[in-house]
Amino acid sequence: MATWPAEIGFTPLVGTLQDVQDKGHYEFQPDAGSPQRLQTASGLQRTLAFKICAVDATNRARIEAFYRDDCSHGVEQFTAPDPYDPGQTRTYWWEEPPTFTSAGPMHFHVQIKVGTLMP
């Protein structure tokens, strides 16, 4: 399993962390009968979306390579620090590819959107 590059922080910028607990079930109306509910996961999941601090062009390339090569374009899970307890690591999967916004000449903020199981 891949590990988030230690030289690149995984700490959310202040005010950017969004933490959403997934329902864990799917509701639908069959052709006949009452509405049905199916469990979609054996554990409760949550989605984390946040920005990390500005990175330079070298670290941008490292994040892109991590997503593309180490995580097989987002298919493979990876471990990284827990944003709530940086001393602990958690397993994540990519919900979306990382995106980059300019934070100055050759520096970028990185938008991360990942899923994890609730503790």
**Cα separation, 119 vs 113, whole angstroms:** 18
Do 10 and 62 contact (CB within 8 A), yes or no? no
Where does residue 95 rank: exposed (0-12), middle (13-18), buried (19+ CB within 10 A)?
Answer: middle
Q: Please state, for a pLDDT cut of 70, what percent of the chain lies above it.
A: 90
Question: How large is the average pLDDT for residues 88-116?
Answer: 93
Give residue 102's identity as a one-letter amino acid code. Answer: S
List the structure tokens of 27.
């509701």
* Confidence (pLDDT) at 36: 78
Question: Residues 21-50: pLDDT tens digits?
Answer: 876 656 778 888 888 776 665 567 889 999
Q: Regarding predicted confidence, which is higher, 25 or 66?
A: 66
* Confidence (pLDDT) at 26: 64
Do 116 and 88 contact (CB within 8 A), yes or no? no
Question: How large is the average pLDDT for residues 92-115?
Answer: 93
Whole-number mean pLDDT of the chain?
A: 88
